[in-house]
Amino acid sequence: MTARTRLALGATLLCYLPFFAYVVVVTTPAYALFPRASIFVLPSVLASFCAALLLSARAVPVTAWIVVAVLGVALLDNFTSVIGYLADWELRQGREEDGAYLRALRQSASHAWHWLLLVAPLAAAAVALVKGRTARRPSPRR
């Protein structure tokens, strides 16, 4: 990854950070596994990734792996919490289990925009990892 690309990605994610923090605070369900932790940790992890992109090429792979891990776990937690909550509601209404989960998936479409906003920095970190790996020169054989 060139310095110009790294700086552009860092500046773009830094501009995206306030929107990301707002969405995380507003849309994190209270019935998630660790709602308070995700409200504070997710924007902090993205901010550290932005700082790594803007300041140091050596810190990018480490912080990118941290972003992929933390945002991946948060996305999985949010998705399973929402689907489980909606399916539980459908089960209490008397639906069969298969129908309850299918209906919960259908009803969770309103949360798709939140999940996509979580995927955007996750994808940026994955791109940084792939670009960094392909830009690295192979070590010479001895």
Number of domains into which the chain is organized: 1
The domain in which residue 39 lies consists of 3-76+112-133
With CA atoms as reference, report the closest residue to 21 among 7, 3, 41. 41
**Does residue 119 lie within any of the structural domains?**
yes
pTM, whole model, 2 decimals? 0.82
φ, ψ of residue 26 to 5 degrees: the values are -75, -35
For 31, 41, 81, the CA distances from 95, given in Å and listed in that order, are: 22, 37, 19
CB atoms within 10 A of CB 25: 13
CA 51 centroid distance within chain = 17
Residue-wise pLDDT tens digits, 7-37: 999 999 999 999 999 888 887 777 777 788 8
Q: Are 45 and 30 in contact (CB under 8 A)?
A: no
pLDDT band at 69 (very low <50, low <70, confident <90, very high): very high
Residue 33 covered by a domain: yes
